[in-house]
């Protein structure tokens, strides 16, 4: 009997953790905080008119606060790894007040910590979420506190068109913390042009002699925010 009770308790605990890591986001609400799940917190917020209807829209990134997702790290890096999941939520403002959910992506924002790469800094520490000229820009920064001198910034640009958020641009800039040498890659899916710049130096203006090469390319279908994850590779 005790074994059965323990099994039921264990199953209930596992189910509760799973549900808390994968919450249901409401389809509508009166204020932005209505879309933050219980036990979660807002870590980034931006606003702007994404669907060009004259009403302000909001984009937020939320993170679970559960201590059950904190893992002790015995390797290099932080003593504790924060593996709490994060969700990107886009809200369209309604003409007469309130908001409706336009997009939910539970896979594109990396967790603060990584078991596979414990020296990796939180990609959102120097990350950024903003709306410029009616497009959504999401910047993530990747660098290691041990084992690497490279810093990489990845910026995704989305436009709401064809009733979805399509990836119209992607920029990836890398530099060496020891030398300042930079490499920049930029893909414009709207103009179908990709550019690569090498030879720059962010620490020394005299040594900075960037050379940029641009080439056209073909794309059959634009990627959408809905299908992207933090592991999606964008080809140059």
Beta strands in the chain (DSSP E): 28-29, 40-48, 57-64, 70-72, 80-82, 86-93, 99-105, 128-132, 135-143, 150-161, 164-176, 181-188, 193-201, 211-216
User: Which two three-digit tokens encode residue 180?
Assistant: 């300042």
How many domains does the chain divide into?
2
Same domain? 165 vs 110 = no
CA 65/CA 84 separation, integer angstroms: 7
Domain end among 73, 96, 118: 118
Q: Please report whether residue 11 resides in a domain.
A: no
Same domain, 112 and 28: yes
Which residue is associated with the tokens 């959910």? 101
Structural domain includes residue 233? no
Per residue in 54-110, pLDDT (tens digit) is: 999 999 999 999 999 999 999 888 899 999 999 999 999 999 999 999 999 999 999
Show the tokens assigned to 231.
């592991």
Higher confidence at residue 130 or residue 9?
Answer: 130
pTM over 0.85: yes
Domain encompassing residue 159: 149-228
- Mean pLDDT computed over 160-168: 98
pLDDT computed for residue 47 by the predictor = 98
Q: Which residue has the higher pLDDT, 90 or 9?
A: 90
């Amino acid at each position: 009997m005790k074994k059965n009770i323990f099994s039921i308790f264990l199953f209930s605990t596992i189910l509760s953790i799973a549900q808390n890591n994968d919450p249901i986001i409401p389809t509508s609400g009166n204020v932005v905080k209505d879309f933050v799940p219980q036990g979660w917190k807002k870590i980034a917020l931006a606003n702007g008119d994404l669907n060009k209807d004259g009403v302000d829209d909001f984009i937020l990134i939320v993170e679970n606060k559960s201590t059950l997702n904190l893992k002790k790290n015995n390797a290099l890096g932080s003593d504790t790894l924060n593996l709490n999941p994060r969700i990107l939520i886009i809200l369209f403002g309604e003409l007469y007040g309130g908001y409706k959910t336009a997009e939910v992506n539970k896979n594109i924002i990396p967790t603060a910590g990584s078991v596979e790469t414990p020296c990796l800094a939180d990609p959102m520490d120097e990350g950024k979420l903003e709306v410029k000229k009616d497009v959504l820009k999401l910047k993530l920064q990747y660098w290691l506190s041990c084992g690497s001198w490279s810093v990489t910034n990845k910026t995704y640009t989305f436009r709401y068109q064809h009733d979805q958020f399509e990836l119209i641009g992607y920029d990836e800039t890398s530099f060496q913390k020891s030398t300042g040498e930079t490499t920049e890659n930029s893909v414009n899916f709207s103009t179908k042009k990709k550019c690569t710049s090498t030879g720059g130096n962010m620490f020394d203006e005299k040594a900075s002699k960037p050379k940029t090469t641009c080439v056209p390319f073909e794309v059959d279908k634009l990627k959408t925010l809905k299908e992207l994850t933090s592991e999606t590779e964008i080809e140059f």
